């Protein structure tokens, strides 16, 4: 079984704390942009991590768990900085997908509401007809 690096474990823990997008509604554009930017930052941080794996540290002033943790934090900040510029296009694609998910969910809710109203109307009409027959 392969062990996760501390940085990957931290990133997975942070992303797992985000709620399932299918169970929440992101109602305003700013929140969608923030979610898309955060996703891009984590993604870029993970993509640039291999660039730093081969760099050896100076034993006198570096190394150990402290540098491992701070290197992970540095990579997260690099990811955030790159994501803030929106130069990769990932953020735009994530935004489009979030909008699509939101539109599908809204359409499903509207369809469900229409179907529920049709059932209620049918039941109400049936009760009226039954009352008229009894009169």
Where exactly are the structural domains of the chain?
6-134
pLDDT digits (tens, 9 = 90+) for 67-92: 878 888 899 999 999 999 988 889 89
Confidence of residue 18 (pLDDT cuts 50, 70, 90): low
Task: With H, G, I as helix, E, B as strand and everything else as coil, classify residue 43.
Answer: helix
pTM of the model: 0.58
Q: How far apart are CA 46 and CA 33, in angstroms?
A: 20
Closest CA to 5 of 41, 59, 52: 52
Tell me the pLDDT of the chain averaged across its residues.
Answer: 77
């Amino acid at each position: 079984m392969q062990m996760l690096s501390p940085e990957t474990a931290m990133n997975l823990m942070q992303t797992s704390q985000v709620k399932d997008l299918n169970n929440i509604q992101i109602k305003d554009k700013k929140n969608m942009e923030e979610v898309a930017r955060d996703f891009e930052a984590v993604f870029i941080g993970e993509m640039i991590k291999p660039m730093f794996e081969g760099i050896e540290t100076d034993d006198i002033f570096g190394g150990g768990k402290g540098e491992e943790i701070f290197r992970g934090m540095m990579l997260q900040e690099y990811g955030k900085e790159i994501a803030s510029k929106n130069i990769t296009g990932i953020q735009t694609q994530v935004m489009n997908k979030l909008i699509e998910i939101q539109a599908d969910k809204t359409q499903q809710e509207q369809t469900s509401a229409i179907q529920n109203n049709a059932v209620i109307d049918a039941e109400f009409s049936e009760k009226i007809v039954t009352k008229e027959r009894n009169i």
